[in-house]
Structure 1
Amino acid sequence: MTARGVLIAALLAATAPHAMAAEPAAGPAATGEITDEIVVTARRSGAPMWTIKTPTGAVILVGEIRNVPKATPWRPERLEGATERAQRVILGTKAKVSPGDILRLIFKGGGLTKLPKGRVAADYLDVHQIARLRALEARFDQDYAQKNFLMTAFDLLAKRLAFNRDTADDASDIVRKAANRADIPAQPVGEMRGEDMLDNLFAAAPATHIPCLDAAMTATEAGGDIVAARGQAWTEFDVPAVMANPLERALGRCWPWTNDGFGPALRQQWVGAISDAAAKPGVTLAVVPLLVLAEPDGVLDRLRAQGLPIVGPAWTAPISAGASPS
């Protein structure tokens, strides 16, 4: 698939339908033993999660990594069972993409896939970075000299490291399908217009994607073993190990998460939605990207700062003796 085709596919995938069943009529809140049963069932899936207990229910936060390898030992059917007993579900941001957005990308997408006319990678990268890029070009018989750094990063991660091959359904896919079958109301945490996304990408200076490229090169240099290691650490609830994995670090350093326009807004959407859910009766199950849940000053840190009682695996690495907190 061409780089432009990748962008089109990504925008179309972002418009996947979300279950939108009506909120059920008010009734007895899922408290006490029922809430505990849902939490236990969800935890047995093998995905890391955190629980916020409230006087009238709970909020379950499932920390999602995308493109889970099929070999990863987890039990998605347990997550399905928990979803079917929840009162509501919160999923990721939904992109509203119009036919006009797709046509714009088809006819003007060259500005997203290539560096500005007359410029090459060596004009932006330091000596060490360009040496690493050229070594990867030779290794994979590719020419990245004029390619947009975001597209080069995607090529390295998806085609060379192959992190998205032989994967199973992600947690959000599992929960979405289960909610649809059980008529559980589900909604995206927020929405973004495709036009705004494209405007943001077209306006981004090449240098803004260098951290993404640098992290993608590090992940590719580390080799394919990091893909399985990331999945294994995820099911062992070793969240610091997942966050330190070169693949997860690369995904977290690429657009839109690091973009000044979108990144902070995406994170705050999650904080606001979870805070609102904690005030509602019954059980809310939210599937949240682990990279924004467990990062420093991420969603979990911000919810804890609000005084919400969070129960679940540690999400920050312990500080070694003699080290100072960052």
Structure 2
Amino acid sequence: MTRSRVFSALCAVMAGVFGLTLASAAGAAPAWWRVSDGRNEIWIIGAPRVTPRNFNWDTSGLEKRLASASTLIVGPQPKNKVAETGLILVNFGELRSPTPMETTLSPPLRRQFAAMRQSIGQGQGHYDGWKPAVAGFWLSQDFLKAYDLQSGQVESKVRKLAHAKGLSETPSGTVDASEMINQFKTLGAKGQEACLAASVHDLSVGPDRLKALADAWAKGEVTTPPIDAIDRACLQAAPAFGAAFDRAANQDSAAIAQALSRGAPRAVAEFDLPTLIMPGGVLDHLRARGLQVSGPME
């Protein structure tokens, strides 16, 4: 396991923790939301976090909207990737554990974790040396690889098409990796177990379900796994995760409101799907600002 993989894993928020189920009428293309202040409008697409590798979807609606836009608004970006990589390396040792990780787990979680790692071909001891919550991230990464799944493909495609059309890119804000790193370092044994349990639980839906959710998204159905007690236990133990979500939702909605207030030509925005649609997410923030939100629609 390389240190660059640690950086990519720790800068992500656990995929299943911020979920919701919201179904729209199925269509032939992904769903959109239209936000307006009565004069100007911005179209938002929510990007699913996990899709099959080399995932294909109908981009015609996206390309049509990009053609009449001047900018692509995206979610918060790292403040300084080089500096944050250095921060990971400085704290690398504190993310590890001198005790074999599996031996520290409660019997039920130990059995569940072992079953999950065995299902993706990883032997006992593969994740030893990491604190349990960090091992959960590694397990998630290895799960995606084992089942030919990948994170971030839709976001990457949207940004690539926007760049090809010469659009400028406007990040809604910044992400500070130190908060997440410090959260991993300060979690007690109970919190470590709670977040590992959330990772195992979120993966237990299985690869077929994750692929089906991606296919449904491509047809206009907006669906992600619901949050439950196991996920909430991790959020309660690790408030930095919830704070990161709240900050991202606020930054995203503020960027949309600012673009509308400037009277800029039609813009397109791409945000993380759960951050967009869950209660207290971007859409709720936009409505609270008095903006008109309609959708999901093709």
TM-score range, shorter chain: 0.7 to 0.9
Q: CA RMSD in A?
A: 3.9
Residues 106, 141 of structure 1: alpha-carbon distance in 2 compared, 3 angstrom cutoff? same
**Alignment-derived partner of residue 5 in structure 1:** 4
Q: CA–CA distance in 2 between the matches of 1:138 and 1:68?
A: 22
Q: CA–CA distance in 1 between the matches of 2:165 and 2:133?
A: 39
1:287 to 270, 280, 288: 270
**Alignment-derived partner of residue 324 in structure 1:** none
1:270 aligned to 2:269? Answer: no
**Alignment-derived partner of residue 93 in structure 2:** 110
**Alignment-derived partner of residue 75 in structure 2:** 92
1:47 to 30, 47, 59: 30
Within 5 Å, which residues of 2 pair with 1:187-206? 187-194=170-177, 198-205=181-188
Provide the secondary structure at the position in 2 that maps to 1:263.
Answer: helix
Q: Number of aligned residue pairs: give it.
A: 277
- Measure how far apart 1:10 and its partner are: 5.5
2:134 to 147, 151, 165: 151
**Alignment-derived partner of residue 108 in structure 2:** 128
Amino acid at match of 2:113: L
Residues 208, 264 of structure 1: alpha-carbon distance in 2 compared, 3 angstrom cutoff? farther
**Alignment-derived partner of residue 16 in structure 2:** none
Q: CA–CA distance in 2 between the matches of 1:277 and 1:257?
A: 30
Residues 256, 64 of structure 1: alpha-carbon distance in 2 compared, 3 angstrom cutoff? farther
Any conservation in 1 of the 2:75–2:248 contact (CA below 8 Å)? Answer: no
Provide the secondary structure at the position in 2 that maps to 1:162.
Answer: helix
Query: Quick check: 282-291 or 204-213, which moved more?
Result: 204-213
Query: Quick check: 164-173 or 78-87, which moved more?
Result: 164-173
TM-score by length of structure 2 reads 0.74
Within 5 Å, which residues of 2 pair with 1:160-175? 160-162=143-145, 165=148, 167=150, 170-175=153-158
Amino acid at match of 1:7: V
- Tell me the percent identity: 21
Q: CA–CA distance in 2 between the matches of 1:197 and 1:157?
A: 17
- Measure how far apart 1:166 and its partner are: 5.7
Residues 10, 70 of structure 1: alpha-carbon distance in 2 compared, 3 angstrom cutoff? closer
Structure with larger RCO (C-alpha < 8 A, sep 6+): 2
Within 5 Å, which residues of 2 pair with 1:236-315? 236-239=219-222, 241-244=223-226, 259-281=241-263, 282-313=265-296
1:56 to 39, 53, 59: 39
Any conservation in 2 of the 1:84–1:178 contact (CA below 8 Å)? Answer: no
Provide the secondary structure at the position in 2 that maps to 1:313.
Answer: strand
**Alignment-derived partner of residue 80 in structure 1:** 63
Provide the secondary structure at the position in 2 that maps to 1:229.
Answer: helix
- Measure how far apart 1:109 and its partner are: 0.7
Residues 50, 101 of structure 1: alpha-carbon distance in 2 compared, 3 angstrom cutoff? closer
Provide the secondary structure at the position in 1 that maps to 2:62.
Answer: helix
Structure 2: stretches of 5+ with no match in the other structure:
13-26
Provide the secondary structure at the position in 1 that maps to 2:65.
Answer: helix
Q: CA–CA distance in 1 between the matches of 2:102 and 2:123?
A: 16
Query: Quick check: 60-69 or 153-162, which moved more?
Result: 153-162
